[in-house]
Amino acid sequence: MRFDIITLFPQMFMGPLSESIISRAKEKGLIEINLHQLRDYSQDKHHNVDDTPYGGGKGMVLRVDVVDNAINNVKAQNPNIKKQRTILLSPRGRTFNQDIAKEFTKYDNIILICGHYEGFDERVRDLVDEEISIGNFVLTGGEIPAMAVVDTVSRLVPGVLAENSPEEESFMQKDKEGKYLLEYPQYTRPEEYKGKKVPEILLSGNHAEIEKWRKNHQIPKK
């Protein structure tokens, strides 16, 4: 799977997307992450990407022509990709969750557009397939939401998680009411710590009973 991220601050992604599971997935060729500096697609000699809002107001607004040029150029780099999704990271969008992450694994390429400043020219919304939000709070820009989407979706790509199946993780199963189930409690050594002991069932070696215990201790997310 290929991710293309259009951003004013590509350096923000260097740490989070260059370590641990994501790093190993890139090394194996299971995922590809490309960062695109939005200023590179400005045709202004000063590489301006924003301007003052019509009607007045505070702050600066990202220009539709620059964003359109960026999207078109990124898509032109992948002319043979059939299943592609262009996503604007915006507070107006669907709130991201595990179901949406699984939905995104159906695509070969996901283009993520990170906002900044006072937002986008409204006409940018006509250039994308959909908008995604990661919650009802304000961030400086769309970079952190983009990291969250890439990390979550990447974990669901076959082969990325070598040791454990993602089906056993939190938010991968639901109860009868349709609520997400959190993963069961986990314990390791020491067997007792400050008076708190590991549940006896986990020490029994009875795998059938352990499986029952784990299912009974999966908590629905409120």
Domain parsing of the chain, residue ranges? 2-154, 166-216
- CATH 3.10.350.10 assigned to domain 166-216? The reply is no
What is the mean predicted confidence (pLDDT) over 35-45? 96
The two structure tokens encoding residue 46:
């000063």
pLDDT of residue 169: 60
CA-to-CA separations, 76 to 115, 179, 203, in angstroms, rounded: 22, 41, 57
Which is more confident, 5 or 222? 5
> What's the pLDDT score for residue 151?
97
Residue 206's φ and ψ, nearest 5 degrees, are -85, 95
pLDDT score at 66:
98
Q: Which 3 state secondary structure label does DSSP give 156?
A: coil
Predicted model pTM: 0.88
What is the pLDDT, as a whole number, of residue 110? 98
Whole-angstrom distance, CA of residue 88 vs CA of residue 145: 10
H or E element: which one contains 143? helix 143-154
Per-residue model confidence (pLDDT) at position 167: 59
Q: Do residues 104 and 154 touch, judged by C-beta distance below 8 A?
A: no
**What's residue 172's pLDDT?**
61
Each residue of 124-160: pLDDT tens digit? 999 999 999 999 998 999 999 999 999 999 999 999 9
- Contact between 5 and 146 (Cβ < 8 Å): yes
Peptide bond into 158 cis (omega under 30): no
For domain 2-154, the CATH class is alpha beta
Whole-Å CA distances, 153 to 47, 51, 70, 141: 32, 34, 23, 20
Residue 95 pLDDT? 97
87, containing H or E segment: strand 84-95
